[in-house]
Amino acid sequence: MEGVDHLAHERNKTEFDVDAMKIVWAGSRHAFELSDRMARLVASDPVFRKDDRTRLGRKELFKNTLRKASHAWKRILELRLTEEEAGQLRNFVDEPSFTDLHWEMFVPAIKGQGTDEQQQKWLPLAYKMQIIGSYAQTELGHGSNVQGLETTATFDPETDEFVINSPTLTSSKWWPGGLGKISTHAIVYARLITNGQEHGVHGFIVQLRSLDDHMPLPGITMGDIGMKFGNGAYNTMDNGVSKFDHVRIPRNQMLMRVLQVTREGKCVQSNVPRQLIYGTMVFVRQTIVANASTALSRAVCIATRYSAVRRQFGSQDGGMETQVIDYKTQQSRLFPLLASAYAFRFVGEWLKWLYTDVTQRLQANDFSTLPEAHACTAGLKSLTTAATADAIEECRKLCGGHGYLCASGLPELFAVYVPACTYEGDNVVLLLQVARFLMKTVSQLHSGKKPVGTTAYLGRLQDLLHCCCDVQRAEDWLKPGVVLEAFEARSARMCVACAKNLSKFENPEDGFAELSADLVEAAVAHCQLIVVSKFIDKLQQDIPGKGVKQQLQNLYYIYVLNLVHKYLGDFLSTGCITPKQASLANDQLRSLYSQIRPNAIALVDAFNYTDHYLGSVLGRSDGNVYPKLYEEAWKDPLNDSVVPDGYHEYVHPILKQQLRNARL
């Protein structure tokens, strides 16, 4: 029934101020009001309709994306939206498009790596979208190993130009969004060669297509790399391939904020420290962590609402069946994911602060915290994206068979999200970088160098190697100090174990290769500790609203105790806790599920997602699932006719035993 809230009985159980929790989730009242306004603006505009996306063919889908991107830009100009508002509007349109790389990679790269003169020339054009940019780093043969890129940029002193060339098939740029069909320019990463000498990989602004007829410029071969995973999903994006055949660009189109090439072809280091470009990397990874909490919370919102709507078994004397959300098996799979969404949200908030702090330090030539900031952002990108991809798939399973329907929104959400595990650094490669940093930190403890930031706990190594968990009752696990010490001890002991094993190898690199699986596990433990500690920091803040802090505390303990359960081998093998204490943690976890249960719907309502943005029949805010699911089925093109095309040619002859006469 329209206008009826089928989840009202759930919302009436709520024990906290939902509006106050919405502010906590958004980060501030300003952020909440801005995102709420932009979400409603998009949801009310028929051009941004997306419920038919999974039924469209590739060409129609792509053209539809161009229409939406154009309309979004038109609305941004008409409403004179700020940069922050425009970013949120594009976010709520919720469709990967060529504008993503333009705003998220092309513009930041020019701001971070371009000289003042280059910024003055290119940024006004980019901000007005008089040029559309992509970010061409990844090649057919190389992704994570940036130093292995094969594209070359050779300086020609006679013409004062760089010659951009793809010497091999595997040097073709491959994957950049927007490159396939739309981008007019790109930051192309290539090996700099001057006077016969190589100087590493650098970025170059290369015009790709004519601004008059949009044809590729001479020497450039470009196209789309083909269909990707899922219906709709990332197929709205023209991920591209490009080959360069001795394409010439002016010398001043090399991004020269850090390294400059003179008219004579000499490489001159500028007075801007090379480390400054790491600020951009921290910014991008901070954005990815924030996006992880968003994608995870969308999936959890769908699964939680549907779990409250769906009833199976348990009917007595013809009464109502049991809500699926009331089964402990459902709670033990769903509620830790709900807790993770909040945990990732808060660590994402902290990363915003870290980016500001790192930027200020870099501008003051203070590089002391940079290695630690680089390691923790790399690790958190890996941890949150891997957990989110797995969680979206788990939410699909939590919705049973209906979760497999495109109408659930979950297959497309998964297909759009899962590449985050690979782009901006393969997750395993990033964890190995974290492990390398941790091993260096441990090795420097003997020299008296104090670890900083998220590794500060290693400065108390001796205490952590010998401490004993003093949990005696299930409730003891609700002491923040007890939980934090267990996670610190686990991480410290795993790091020390790896360092000891590494010391047995004559060649450290051989040891690193042999022990890489153990090192990855140590890096995961460290990154989980960061999330745990930042959640604690959040709880120590003043959080207004009736019952809000209590719900956040419950979510915190669900998050950490579920990790103890999931990684029990780590905690037991390192001697951080005993089997009895592990059993008590599980007892406490079950109790916490019961406390969260009456608040589950309200906790996902606090995400404040419109039905348009959620894009799910199962996750409808009014819980009116079955009539809408039935209605959605009839929209499929296969139902345009009662008798399907092909029946008379292929099926009718079988039924009439006339196969010999059939036109096969």
CA terminus-to-terminus distance, the chain: 48
Buried b / exposed e over 33-57, threshold 16 CB at 10 Å, is ebbeebbebbbebeebebbebbebe
269-299 burial, b for 16+ CB within 10 Å, e for fewer? eeebeebbbbbbbbbbbbbbbbbbbbbbbbb
* Rounded distance between C-alpha atoms, residue 383 and residue 344, angstroms: 10
**Torsions phi, psi for 268 (to 5 deg):** -125, 125
Which pairs from 13-16 meet CB under 8 Å and 24+ separation? 13/598, 13/599, 13/601, 13/602, 14/598, 14/599, 14/601, 14/602, 15/547, 15/550, 15/551, 15/598, 15/599, 16/545, 16/546, 16/547, 16/548, 16/550, 16/551, 16/599, 16/602
Q: How many CA atoms lie within 13 A of 110 on its CB side?
A: 29
Within the chain, how many helices (H) and strands (E) appear? 24, 11
Q: Is 316 helix (H, G, I), strand (E, B) or coil?
A: coil
Pairing of strands 267-269, 185-194: unpaired
**Do 108 and 283 touch, CB atoms closer than 8 A?**
yes
Stated as kind and residue range, the H or E segment containing 224 is: strand 220-224
177 annotated as belonging to a binding site for a ligand: yes
Distance of CA 117 to the CA centre of its chain: 33
- Asked if residues 265 and 155 have their Cβ atoms less than 8 Å apart, the reply is yes
Residue 164: both structure tokens together:
């951009």
Short-list 361, 3, 441, 413, CA closest to 229: 413
Residue 143 labeled ligand binder: no
Contact 389, 291 (CB under 8 A): no
Catalytic residue chosen out of the listed positions 424, 485, 488, 521: 424
- Token pair of 598, please? 């009456």
By the 10 Å C-beta count (0-12 exposed, 13-18 middle, 19+ buried), 254 is classed as: buried
Q: Which of 603, 605, 504, 515 is nearest to 551 (CA)?
A: 603
Residue 412 annotated to the active site: no
Handedness of CA 396, 402, 404, 408 (dihedral sign): negative
Beta bridge partners of 155: 162
3-state secondary structure of 203: strand
Contact between 561 and 469 under an 8 Å Cβ cutoff? The reply is no
Number of Cβ within 10 Å of residue 183's Cβ equals 27
- Would you tell me the crossing angle of helices 58-78 and 83-93 to the nearest 10 degrees? 150
601 Cβ neighbours under 8 A, 6+ residues apart? 7, 10, 11, 13, 14, 304, 305, 308
Rounded to whole angstroms, the Cα distance separating 300 from 619 reads 9
Binding residue positions for FAD: 138, 177
Annotated binding site: 138, 177
Q: Which residues are the active-site residues?
A: 424
